[in-house]
Chains A and B, each alone.
Chain A
């Protein structure tokens, strides 16, 4: 892979040299993905954002991407992108946080954007989406539809984004169904279709009748479909993989954000800041509500609208911790953003221990 980058870099350099006499140089923008572009999930949606940038600003920018970059090793990959002449680099997974900061410190003239992290510097901005808003809506749907009162949750890694998703899901479910239980399996991977399928099978075997996932492949959906159960898609609309099973999918929508940030660099207005939006900022969408009765679909749509307008907050106080004690409320009647972004506890009603 790295040789390919070198080659691409050399080729790009050659092209750059040959055309620089005629036109202003294009802004080079690079993206680093944790999974393959073809995962039809998280990385796929980031790549859709890249394509949107090309479409909107194609005459002024040139984009490249690296896919399936392992998180621990990523600083070398990011540095290669800098050396290849990229001036704006999006690193799109939580685990790229330290590597991005490390490389950014060496190259102060290059702009970096790190997704889902919380550490910034002069040339590193952060951005993320309030995925937990979508998970709250899913929880409401699951709470209404489950007959077994057991939901299976295929999780990836115990990081705040995933933990707050589990909590938001449960709060949504508890808002309509007091007896609901959740079984959580950590797959310890973002993308391994076989293992995700096995995790879904284990959950279904242990009595779950609705599967939700925070891993990136459609394998859990397919398993649910094979057993005639229900499930939610992740990151992109996955209904094509399980047309009779998919209730809805949380759809990440990076297009507008990426276009805005690339424009900011072109206009010389880029600065390091944090962007964190949900339904309201159009960073998170819900795919159509399918395979459910009309009243549940309406309830889901109403919940989505209420969150979008700000009337409903998934983490409205009082939020009870697992031990039954109330979590300190740092926002105005809600948990504040910092508390959600660093969430490392389960709420009451989750009978499991959070791996540390």
Chain B
């Protein structure tokens, strides 16, 4: 149990930043906008979050700063692709390059600074309580409770986000309108829906999620800041959205699948099981391609919003 729980905790920490960033991007893409700037927003979020947490000594302020930083960068992106109807791919790539550069500038003064990681919740140890100590399997029950309730706060936020987005996109009126805008922006516009405004909010939400994911890296996962610490996680988050064929619950599953694959390959190596490490490192990308192939063979549409990536200029 201990060993399995230890592996699962590692999987959860590896998965959470991917999940949070990918959920944000899912909403953005569902509204019909492709934002390739996740990596840049995550990097800036990580830098701002760490800097603010060091300066104020408060994790909460750090997280808030990371979210604000992600939103600020995404607002620039929104201005380009919504305000000026610029090419989304080019703007997104520019956002990544700019964001990584900006993170280096912001974080330069904090290289080599450390702080304690965000604490996990400590669930009271029931097996130590007198009244309960004779209950059968109490140690195991306490272990399970500690596992279920003893993660860092971000993990629960990511799960609530996944559930919330599932409900929002599938059940809420606002979510259905957002999807309609992503599917057919012209029709949505002629029906009187606020295409640009909705997309602006979706992009801001995506930026907030990417910033939060960045804060997770620099405040929880590895509590220090260093340039380049996102190490391609923004791109994996993008691949995840495609892998999940734009569905929130599949995204939740896919994120844990990717996370488990990366962690289990490290365990496989430590146990010298003889599986080639290079192949396993490439696994998330290979899995995405395979998923795309399967989806394309199965039906005509792979689930991408029909207006994805198309600039929208409202007729006036």
- Answer yes or no: do A and B interact: yes
Q: Which residues from chain A sit less than 8 Å from chain B, CB to CB? A: 1, 35-40, 67-68, 152, 183-189, 191-199, 201-203, 205-206, 208, 217-219, 222, 226, 240-241, 351-353, 355
Task: Assess whether B269 is in contact with A205, with CB atoms less than 8 Å apart.
Answer: no
Confirm or deny: B231 has a beta carbon within 8 angstroms of a beta carbon on chain A: yes
Q: Quick one: given A198-B263, A201-B10, A205-B7, are A184 and B269 in contact (CB under 8 Å)?
A: yes
Known: A195-B231, A197-B222, A241-B112. 13 other contacts (CB 8 A): A68-B227, A183-B270, A185-B277, A186-B277, A191-B228, A193-B217, A194-B14, A194-B231, A199-B270, A205-B267, A222-B224, A241-B224, A355-B278
The main secondary structure of chain A at its interface with chain B is mixed
A38 CA / B51 CA spacing, docked (Å): 14
Q: Please determine whether A192 and B231 come into contact, CB atoms closer than 8 angstroms.
A: yes
Q: Report B-chain residues with C-beta under 8 Å of the C-beta of A206.
A: 267, 270-271
Interface residues on B, range: 35 or more
Q: Is the CB of B266 within 8 A of A199?
A: yes
Contact of B226 with A217 in the complex, beta carbons under 8 Å: yes
Q: How far is the CA of A195 from the CA of B278 in the complex (A)?
A: 14
Q: Do B270 and A185 touch (CB < 8 A)?
A: yes
Asked if B224 contacts A191 (CB within 8 A), the reply is no
**Among B111, B225, B229, B278: residue with most chain A CB under 10 A:** B229
Interface set of B (CB-CB < 8 Å, partner A)? 3, 6-7, 10, 13-14, 17, 97, 104, 107-108, 111-112, 114, 117, 217, 221-229, 231-233, 262-263, 266-267, 269-272, 274, 276-278, 281
CB pair A185–B228 under 8 Å, yes or no, is: no
Question: A327: shortest Cβ distance to chain B, in Å?
Answer: 22
In the complex, A10→B147 CA distance in Å? 58
Residues B224 and A195 in contact, CB atoms below 8 Å apart: no
Choose from A67, A198, A208, A240 the contact partner of B262 (Cβ within 8 Å).
A198
What is the distance, in angstroms, from B143's C-beta to the closest C-beta of chain A? 15
Least Cβ distance of B316 to chain A in Å?
35
A-B contacts at CB below 8 angstroms, number:
119
Q: How many Å lie between the Cα of A240 and that of B110 in the bound state? A: 13
Contact A205 B221 (CB under 8 A): no
Find B114's partner among A36, A192, A197, A240 (CB 8 Å cutoff): A240
Could you tell me the distance in whole angstroms from the C-beta of A169 to the nearest C-beta in chain B? 16
- Which A residues lie within 8 Å of B226 (CB)? 36, 38-40, 191, 193, 217
Determine the distance from Cα of A120 to Cα of B14 in the docked complex, in whole angstroms.
42
Interchain residue pairs A-B with the least CB separation, the first 5: A36-B227, A38-B111, A192-B231, A193-B222, A202-B266
Cβ 8 A contact of A217, one of B10, B108, B222, B274: B222
The reply to whether A185 and B269 form a contact with Cβ atoms under 8 Å apart is yes
A101 to B272 Cα, complex, angstroms? 36
Contacts of A67 in B (CB 8 A): 227
Q: Across the interface, which residues of A come within 8 angstroms of B7, CB to CB? A: 202, 205
Q: Is the CB of B222 within 8 A of A188?
A: no
> A227 CB to closest chain B CB, in angstroms?
10
Residues of A within 8 A of B222 (CB): 193-194, 196-197, 217, 219, 222
A188-B281, A195-B262, A198-B14 known; A1 vs B97 contact (CB < 8 Å): yes
Residue of A with least CB distance to B217: A194
The smallest C-beta distance from B272 to any residue of chain A, in angstroms, reads: 4
Query: What residues of chain A lie closer than 8 Å to B111, measured between beta carbons?
Result: 38, 40
CB <8 Å contact, A193 and B221: yes
CA distance A193 to B13 in the complex (A): 13
Question: How far is B112's CA from A353's CA once the two chains are assembled, in angstroms?
Answer: 35
Q: Which residues of B contact A193 (CB under 8 A)?
A: 217, 221-222, 224, 226, 229, 231
Contact of A355 among B223, B229, B266, B277 (CB under 8 A): B277
How many angstroms between the C-alpha atoms of A205 and B263 in the bound complex?
A: 12
Contact of A197 with B221 in the complex, beta carbons under 8 Å:
yes
A183 engages B262 (CB within 8 Å)? no
A215 to chain B, nearest CB (A): 11
**Chain A residue at smallest Cβ distance from B269:** A185
A194 B277 Cβ-Cβ under 8 A: no
Q: Could you name 27 residue pairs across A and B whose Cβ atoms are closer than 8 Å? A: A37-B227, A39-B228, A40-B226, A152-B270, A183-B270, A185-B266, A185-B269, A186-B269, A189-B231, A193-B217, A194-B17, A194-B233, A197-B222, A202-B263, A202-B267, A217-B222, A217-B229, A218-B224, A219-B222, A219-B224, A222-B222, A240-B114, A241-B112, A351-B272, A352-B272, A353-B274, A355-B277
